Amino acid sequence: MKKVVNERKDIAFHIKMFPLKMHPNAYDKARAIVCEKSLSLLEDSFEKKQLPAAKCKTAAVDDNIKLAEKLGITGAPTLIMPDGRVVAGFRDAGSLKELILKK
């Protein structure tokens, strides 16, 4: 995503935290990231760095889990395109741009 955003200033991503139960501590990490509204904490979590405990009370992560269940999303990453297409699984920058720009 970073590469796409760096190359195309007209493309933006809205990230929703959807912790999978199979990943230990994912829920707590997601809450910490949401509370801090921190992209750097998200990047730290991908690098398996220790994250601080959540500093707020939020239902955002629970709401995201409920929404994913309602939409039938079971894995991450999952992209929901502006036209409603749902695309599951990792994509490299070139593939992401193709998907986004496909009308």
Locate the domains of the chain by residue range: 2-72
Q: Other C-beta atoms within 10 Å of 11: how many?
A: 14
Model pTM score: 0.84
What pLDDT shows up at residue 103?
60
Q: Please name the residue that has the structure tokens 């500093």.
A: 55
Q: Please name the residue that has the structure tokens 């707590």.
A: 28
Instruction: Name the E strands within 8-103.
Output: 78-80, 86-88
- Each residue's pLDDT tens digit, 19-41: 998 988 999 999 999 999 999 99
